[in-house]
Structure 1
Amino acid sequence: MNHRELGLVSVVMPAHNAESTLDAQLAALNCQTYQGPWEVVVVENGSSDGTRALLRSWQQGMPQLRVVEAAEGLGVNRARNLGCRSARGELVLCCDADDVVAPGWMAGLVDALRTSPAVGGALERRELNGPVALAARPPKESDALLDTFAFLPYPPGANCGFHKALWSRLDGFDESYRYGSDDVEFFWRAQLAGGRLAFAPSAVVHYRLRGELRPIARQLYRYGRSHPKLYRDFADRGMPPSHLGEAAAAWWRLLVRLPDLAGPAERRAAVLGQLAMRAGRVVGSARYRRCYL
C-alpha cells in the first residue's frame, strides 16, 4: 500500500425492506466530504415494501447510485458478494440501509485504506436509538476494532472497507453465514491470510438498533446461534473455546434477573436480549456439534 491517488470508491449497501430508513442513509451518503470519485451500489435483497420505488426516485437525482437485484437467495453475505462483483472501484466500503453515516465516514475509511488492506470505523449508538434498544445493547466506547471472542479483532459489517483485490483473493464473504458473524468470519480469514486490519476513528456510523422486544430477541438469538459455527470453523486456527464456568455464571445471573421480565420495558429488554443470545448458543452448539456456550 502507498499514498498514491486512488481511483473510484464503491459503497456496497444491502437493502431489505428498508423503506423507512433508506432515505436518511442515502441523504447522508450524498453529503460526504470525500472529494474523490465514488459510487453507491445498493443490493435490493428481495424487499416487499416500497424500497424499490424509493431507490428509483433517488436514482433520478443521484447519478452515482446503481441498484443490483438479489431477489433470489436472501442473506446479507450474498448481497455483499453481489454488490462487490458489481462494484467498479478498487476500494469497497460497506454500510447498512438502516444506519446513517457521518459526513466524514467515506473520507475516514478511504484514508485508512491507503495503508491497510481492510479497515473498520466507529459505531455511535445513542443518536438513533431509544432507552429500550440501548438497554438491550448498551453503548460502548468505540475506539478500536471489535474483539468479542478473545481471538482476532474485526470491524462491523455496517462500517468497514477493504481493497476489492482482498475480497477476490478470499473468494468473497462466506454465504453460509446468513445472519450473525457474517462480518467476523470474513475479516478473520483476511487476517489469517496475512492481511493487517486498521481502525479509522473518524469514520463514524450512527448505528440503529432493534427497538422492540421481539426483534431484539430474534436478532440476538441469531447472533448467539452463529457463535458455535464460528468456533467450528476457527477452533483449529486458534479461536479459544468458551469457558463453561463463565457460561454457568452468565446463566445464573439471568436466572436471578428473571423477575425483570415482568418489569419496565428497559429491564425486560436487557434480560431478554442476553437470554436470547445464550439460548442461541445452546441451539447452535447442538446444530454445529461444537460446544460453545
Structure 2
Amino acid sequence: MNGNTGPVGLVSVVMPARNARTTIAAQLEALSRQTYPDPWEVIVVDNGSSDGTRELLRSWQRRMPQLRVVDSAEARGVNRARNLGCRHARGAFVLVCDADDVVAPGWMAGLVDALRTSPAAGGALERRLLNGPVALAARPPKKSDALLDTFGFLPYPAGANCGFHRELWSRLGGFDESYRYGGDDTEFFWRAQLAGHRLAFAPHAVVHYRLRDEVRAIARQFYDYGRSHPKLYRDFAGRGMPASRLGDAARAWWTLLVHAPHLVGPADRRAPVVAQLALRAGRLVSSARHRRCYL
C-alpha cells in the first residue's frame, strides 16, 4: 500500500482480560493518555473473570465513553477473545494489548504510523518498569529493536504489542483458536508472512511488559510455552520452520544439571532454572503428543 500521512479513521484497540482487576485500571489510564489525535475505541473482551473485573470496567465506561466490553465467558482462550474483539471492532486498524501491561503514551501513534505502510506491525517490549528481581532473573531485559525471532524461521510481534489491518485478520480467518496459550501470536503472524504480507517494526510503540513474579507461575508459563513449540513445528515444518538441534537440547539439559543446586536457593536464583526446566519439559511432553520431535 502507499504511504498515508492523513487521518486513518477510527482505530480499534482489542484487549483480552481475565481476572485483571488489579492491573487493568493502569492500562486503561495509560490508554486515556495516548498522544494519538484521531478517533479510537477500546474493546475489552472479558474472558470469564470472577474477581470483579467486569464491575470495575463498568465504572471505567462512565469515564471513557469509547470503551466497550464484550463477554467471552463461554469461549475462553486468548485467541478466542482476540477474534471476538476483532469481530466487534469498527476500525480499519486493530491494535492489540494485554490487560496486565501498561502502554507508553506514544504506543497507539507508533503502531498506526507503521500500519500506514504495512498490513501488520509490532512494537517494543520494555521489561524493567513493572517487574522485580525474580521476574527479571527468569526473563532478563534485552534490547528490543526488532520483531521477535525465537525459532530461526520468521519474525513475529508479541501479542501484547501488535497491530494489523482488520482486512488482513479477516483474510487469514482470524487467530487459530487451537493455540490456547503459547504460539498464539506467532502462528498468526507467520501465516500472514507466508501469505505474502510484510510485517513492520514500530520502535516508538512501547509497552511496559509485566512478567510473572512468582516461581510457580513462571514455571506454568514456561511449561505452556514449551508445549506450544512442537505444535508450531508440526504446523510449519513443511513451510520452512527448522527442526530443533539435538546438540542445543543436550547443552540446555547439561546446563540445567549444572545449575540444579540453585533449585534450593533464593527465588531469584531458582526462577531462571525453573523456567528453563519447565520449558524443556513442556517440549518433551508436547513432542510425544504431536508426534513431532522438537526438543
Q: Report the secondary structure of 2:41's partner residue.
A: strand
Query: Tell me, which stretches of 5 or more residues in structure 1 are unaligned?
Result: none
Please give the secondary structure, in 2, of the residue aligned with 1:19. coil
* Corresponding residue number in structure 1 for 2:196: 194
Unaligned runs of 5+ in 2: none
| C-alpha distance in structure 1 between counterparts of 2:275 and 2:191, whole Å | 28
Task: Encode CA deviations 1:237-291: one digit per residue, 9 max, x unaligned.
Answer: 0000000111011000001100001111111001000100010000110111100
Q: Which of 136, 139, 148 does residue 138 from structure 2 map onto?
A: 136
Residue by residue over 1:56-75, the C-alpha shift from the partner in whole angstroms, topping out at 9 and shown as x without a partner, is 00001100100000011210
Cα distance in 2 between the residues matched to 1:263 and 1:215: 17
Give the CA RMSD over aligned residues: 0.5
What is aligned with 1:76? 78
Amino acid paired to 1:42: V
User: Separation in 2 of the partners of 1:47 and 1:133?
Assistant: 24
Partner of residue 232, structure 2: 230
TM-superposed deviation, 1:147? 0.1
**Aligned counterpart, 2:222:** 220
- How many angstroms apart in 1 are the aligned matches of 2:7 and 2:93? 12
In structure 1, give the amino acid aligned to 2:116: R
TM-score scaled by structure 1?
0.99
Kindly provide the amino acid, as one letter, of the partner of residue 54 in structure 1: L
* Counterpart residue type for residue 214 of structure 2: E
CA–CA distance in structure 2, aligned partners of residues 13 and 207 of structure 1: 14
State the distance in 1 between where 2:95 and 2:24 align. 17
Deviations 1:106-144 (A, max 9, x none): 000000000000000000000000000000011110000
**Residue 209 (structure 1) aligns with:** 211
1:12 is paired with a residue of what secondary structure?
strand
Question: Residue deviations 1:215-250, cap 9 Å, x none?
Answer: 000000000000000000000000000001110110
Counterparts of 2:176 and 2:213, CA distance in 1: 28
What amino acid maps onto 2:274 in structure 1?
A: L
| Residue 10 in structure 1 maps to residue 21 in structure 2 | no
- SS of the residue corresponding to residue 23 of structure 2 reads helix
1:5 positional shift: 2.8
What's the TM-score, normalizing by structure 2?
A: 0.99
The reply to whether residue 117 of structure 1 matches residue 119 of structure 2 is: yes
1:67 to 66, 69, 88: 69
Confirm whether residue 166 of structure 1 aligns to residue 163 of structure 2.
no
Residue 13 of structure 1 aligns with an amino acid whose one-letter code is M
- Over the matched positions of the two proteins, sequence identity in percent amounts to 79
Q: Secondary structure at the match of 1:188?
A: helix
The residue that corresponds to 1:254 in the other structure is 256
1:30 maps to which residue? Answer: 32
Moved over 3 A (4+): none
- Taking the aligned partners of 2:7 and 2:57, their CA distance within structure 1 comes to 31
- Checking the alignment, whether the CA contact within 8 Å between 2:7 and 2:38 is kept in structure 1 is no
1:162 aligned partner, one-letter code: F
Aligned residues: 293
